[in-house]
Structure 1
């Protein structure tokens, strides 16, 4: 209600990461587990909402402490963004994997409400770099992931000035 968003150009998926040997496909499988998250983060909110009282949530000061808690055995799993997989592989190659996706958030450019020219210019630029492959290449280079699929719309968040 305070700004106008463009179409999304990036996404952040919050997931559960655990040992490859653990079988987990849904939140109910986490009964009795301790799951680490960075406190007051989007991971904290997403994991807490998804697992409720099924598992114990342990909150750590930051991403590094959360990852260290998993690697050192303080927790059985962690809630993390798409970069946790890379960090966990660096800490303990081949041991951990993404198990459950809880939430995907999207990033768009924010402009002042009603600035139709700016919004149209930004959306045209995003369309152009998506179509010519530049956005996919940038995402692969800097985020080390494939370009995600973006929604055409999000309820109550228009991507264009009406």
Structure 2
């Protein structure tokens, strides 16, 4: 009899725990809806996605998350950090999702859940305007090239540099703004970043910078990372739904054209990243 009571009590506890976990799984979305605020972590030195323009936060992420906020019926609250602190901040619960964006890679997909891609992220080199010594990506051999710390662009630069005859002197920067400043000052010969980013920078300052074509990196895409757990599943589902609607009705393409001068043909989801 006593054993039966213990078994019944254990079964009841398991049911209550399962119910509690199920209810808790919807808590993140429910809390966002209840507060009327979606907290978004980002780095504000990654133009044209996120940057400070005349003291104002601007970029593709600002425009796109404004549309996501409309679809979810919430306001967007931005939390700015250096890039190396953004993903740890997400895991620490400082915000609900990362704008970044981040290159979608196999390693990152094991740890995070990504939204539908927002743009292509293939890596290329930015050089000083008029620098005839770098006509193609392979010409960076033996030269000092910068890239952002903890970035997929840095990883690809390292891999590409190992294939060249002379080692590339790789310099890591906390943000791309610092790397671009060093390039403009002649302290480095180039900066490795995604083609959309450097194309925007070269467009803004054509007398200072130029893009080295073709891109040297593996074809990749940018997405917004969120937590890959049951608690965040409902929130990520809601954001995915909103983003696919924004893509289908042409708003995403219009935002891309505004910031890149062109739109990108991106898949709805990435299941097997090339990186």
Fold in common (TM above 0.5): yes
Which residue in the other structure is 1:159 paired with? none
User: Quick check: 1:107 aligned with 2:197?
Assistant: no
1:35-50 matches, cutoff 5 A: 35-50=145-160
Do structure 1's residue 65 and structure 2's residue 178 form an aligned pair?
Answer: yes
TM-score (norm 1): 0.69
Residue in structure 1 matched with residue 99 of structure 2 by the alignment: none
Name the count of aligned residue pairs.
153
After superposition, residues 1-162 of structure 1 pair within 5 angstroms as 1=110, 4-18=113-127, 19=129, 21=132, 22-24=134-136, 26-27=137-138, 29-52=139-162, 54-81=167-194, 82-93=196-207, 95-99=209-213, 100-103=215-218, 104-108=220-224, 110=226, 122-141=239-258, 143-151=259-267, 153-155=270-272
Secondary structure at 1:40 match in 2 = coil
Distance in 1 between residues matched to 2:242 and 2:155, nearest whole Å: 33
Following the alignment from structure 1 to structure 2, what is the Cα–Cα distance between the partners of residues 61 and 112?
26
1:68–1:89: structure 2 CA closer, same or farther, 3 Å change rule?
farther
2-structure distance, mates of 1:4, 1:61: 24
For the aligned residue pairs, the C-alpha RMSD in angstroms reads 3.3
Change over 3 Å in CA distance of 1:127–1:61 after alignment to 2 = closer
Q: Give the Cα–Cα distance (whole angstroms) in 2 for the partners of residues 64 and 58 of structure 1.
A: 14
Partner deviation per Cα, 1:105-153 (whole Å, 9 max, x = no partner): 3215647656887666554543433232111012223x33423222454
Question: Quick check: 2:184–2:208 contact (8 Å CA) kept in 1?
Answer: no
**Cα pair distance change 1:65/1:131, threshold 3 Å:** same
Unaligned runs of 5+ in 1: 157-162
Tell which deviates more after alignment, 120-129 or 81-90.
120-129
Structure number with larger C-alpha Rg = 2
More strand by share: 1
Higher helix share: 2
Structure with more relative contact order (C-alpha pairs < 8 Å, separation 6 or more): 1
Q: How many angstroms apart in 2 are the aligned matches of 1:58 and 1:2?
A: 27
Bigger Cα displacement from structure 2, 91-100 vs 110-119: 110-119
TM-score using structure 2 length: 0.45
